[in-house]
Amino acid sequence: MYARLPALLCAAALLAATPPTAPEWHSAPPARAPHAMIATEQHYATQAGLRILERGGNAVDAAVAVAYALAVVDPCCGNIGGGGFMLVRMHDGRERFIDFREKAPLRANPHMYLDAKGNVIPGASTKGYLAVGVPGTVMGMERARAEFGTLPRAVLMAPAIALADRGFTVEPGDAAIFAASQSEGDSGAYTFAKQPNIRSIFMRNGTLPQSGSVLAQPQLGATLALIAKDGAQAFYRGPIAREVVAASQRNGGILTLDDFSKYTVDERAPLHCTYRGYTIASAPPPSSGGTTLCETLGVTSGFPLGQWGWHSVKSVHYVVEAERRTYADRNTYLADPAFVRNPVAQLLSPEYEAKLRGEISAGKATPSVDVKPGLGPLAHENADTTHFSIVDRWGNAVAVTFTINDLFGAGVIAGNTGFFLNDEMDDFTSKPGVPNMFGLVQGVRNDIEPGKRPLSSMTPTILTKNGQLFMVTGSPGGSRIITIALSTIQNVVDYGMNVQQAVNAPRIHMQWLPDEVQYEPGALSASTMETLRGMGYTFREIHSWGSAQAVLVDPQSGVRYGGTDRRHPSGLAAGY
């Protein structure tokens, strides 16, 4: 199949381009199946979705089953206490973007995380009940199932309920996430011991879950059973909402029953752009993901990246300079479309992308202090995460990215509900010019307002060519989600990698501020980095980020290929 891709790199060329210090990321083959494929970062969730596909369900049915299974087996990130986006493309060409992003409580205000002197209060937007936005996952899954699914809710939720009630075996990758969160400093496992209801689930023997242990979550199982029986009504107008609100009010939060009963899911058309002959469908606002991805692809489309080679000096320079400019636009102009007018058409116009392209100096980094949002000022208008990709036997495709933001969200579980609540309020601008937990320096258009959805970086994306499905992809990773999607697409389209290599390849990232290029080990050779430093770049190594999950369809044979990110060893791409 890969010999038919437009920018093929043979195995020998790919190995030659790989820095000698890189891990053997390029050697793992993709999963292969003739009919259907699922890629998730947790193998139990993949298996739950496969069972649904094998019994005749479609990709949306499988997505609902996977989402609820992830709420059990990936409690740091999979959720019913958060929200996200689902991008659906049916085999007949119908496309929908389902927005179940969290909303700010009705009692929220722009100054709620500031002290008397106007300074941001550390931790106020990241830990505890004041950090919690109104969750959207349950209503989002129910909307998707009702509109596009074919199987009953109880059937789709049965695998998740069984995993919660009977438990699942913790593997090294699962245990590592619990251990890592202890030192994270925002929320997560370091608070578990202080909360009896969390301690009783995740520290039953006095320690966090260890590899080889069985983790059962009967409280979560009971909550899921209520949802399976009564649907979104149980979550938003029933006992679950009442328990969350009561816990919030006891612990300094501002959630009310009105917040839950008035929560809504939005649907709209996906955002579209083109890149080297491929049509890309991705996330419109309130995600910044699709806009920034398409803007960056538009700028870099003018450069022959495939000729220059993967992570060569020239490729890195021009991609990083494009990201520097598009993230400046992202952080300044984009927000919830119910509250502001997003200048998406201007940002994605060929003329504007050519303007940004022309600002890049051939052999010199542009200091971020010298890069201003390219459209000039606009009027202010008041008006951790996981991803999975699925393609079924009919060619229906689903990309879902959903989140509770930080690892284990706000680090709280309401009473006996059994699920972690999000700390999504940190995605708003707590104070213009002050970075959030991901280092994003955002503007007033993303201010906190009652009922508003915070700006997101989630980027569920589907590629087609000549009307045929080609690729489904996305990733967690906070502000780096957009550049993960960018690199995965360019790794396939420009550098001819197979889908497993594309999600495995070491990454680089630039988000305007801070003025640094972040990179993973093996992403840059010593000589490349030395040359780039001489051009004015500053670098910061970060061990690992993201967890891309992608499915690619051979345009001629129809065979499905799956890639699951090596960074999450509990993941699985599998099909039938």
Domain boundaries along the sequence of the chain: 2-33+269-371+456-575, 43-75+100-267+404-446
Q: Number of H helices and number of E strands within the chain?
A: 19, 19
Residue 144 has pLDDT above 70, yes or no: yes
Task: Please tell me the predicted confidence (pLDDT) of residue 19.
Answer: 36
Q: What is the pLDDT of residues 338-353, one digit of tens each?
A: 999 999 999 999 999 9
**What pTM, to 2 d.p., does this model score?**
0.94
* Active-site choice (296, 300, 385, 464): 385
pLDDT band at 7 (very low <50, low <70, confident <90, very high): very low
Surface-to-core class of residue 137, CB atoms within 10 Å of its CB (0-12 exposed, 13-18 middle, 19+ buried): buried
Task: Report the alpha-carbon distance of residue 566 to residue 557 in Å, rounded.
Answer: 27
Helix, strand or coil, per DSSP, at residue 373? coil
Residue 20 has pLDDT above 60, yes or no: no
Instruction: Compute, in degrees rounded to 10, the torsion defined by CA atoms 97, 151, 81, 419.
Output: -160
Helix, strand or coil, per DSSP, at residue 322? helix
Q: Region 222-238: what's the mean pLDDT?
A: 98
Q: How far is CA 355 from the centre of its chain?
A: 29
Residue 406 has pLDDT above 70, yes or no: yes
Whether the Cβ atoms of residue 470 and residue 96 lie closer than 8 Å to each other: no
Query: Domain 2-33+269-371+456-575, what architecture?
Result: 4-Layer Sandwich (3.60)
Whether the Cβ atoms of residue 477 and residue 437 lie closer than 8 Å to each other: no
Where do the H-state alpha helices sit in 349-388?
A: 350-358
Residue 40 appears among annotated catalytic residues: no
* Cβ neighbours of residue 68 closer than 8 Å, sequence gap 6 or more: 48, 80, 141, 156, 157, 159, 160, 224
CA angle, 503 as apex, 466 and 354 as ends, to 5°?
Answer: 55
Q: Cis peptide before 209, with omega less than 30 degrees from 0?
A: no
Rounded to whole angstroms, what are the CA distances from 452 to 108, 381, 567? 9, 13, 33
CB burial of 492-529 (b: ≥16 within 10 Å; e: otherwise) equals bbbbbbbbbbbbbbbbbbbbbbebebbbbebbbbeebb
Surface-to-core class of residue 246, CB atoms within 10 Å of its CB (0-12 exposed, 13-18 middle, 19+ buried): middle
Whether the Cβ atoms of residue 284 and residue 97 lie closer than 8 Å to each other: yes
Task: Please tell me the predicted confidence (pLDDT) of residue 188.
Answer: 57
pLDDT band at 23 (very low <50, low <70, confident <90, very high): low
Task: Please tell me the predicted confidence (pLDDT) of residue 319.
Answer: 98
pLDDT band at 443 (very low <50, low <70, confident <90, very high): confident
Rg for the chain (alpha carbons), in Å? 22
Task: Report the alpha-carbon distance of residue 39 to residue 573 in Å, rounded.
Answer: 4
Task: Report the alpha-carbon distance of residue 64 to residue 68 in Å, rounded.
Answer: 6
Determine what percent of the chain is predicted with pLDDT higher than 70. 93
What rounded mean pLDDT belongs to the chain? 92
Beta strand segments in 156-230, E: 168-169, 214-215
* Cβ neighbours of residue 553 closer than 8 Å, sequence gap 6 or more: 391, 395, 468, 469, 470, 471, 559, 560, 561
Task: Please tell me the predicted confidence (pLDDT) of residue 189.
Answer: 59
Helix, strand or coil, per DSSP, at residue 120? strand
Q: What is the pLDDT of residues 496-550, one digit of tens each?
A: 999 999 999 999 999 999 999 999 999 999 999 999 999 999 999 999 999 999 9
Task: Please tell me the predicted confidence (pLDDT) of residue 8.
Answer: 28
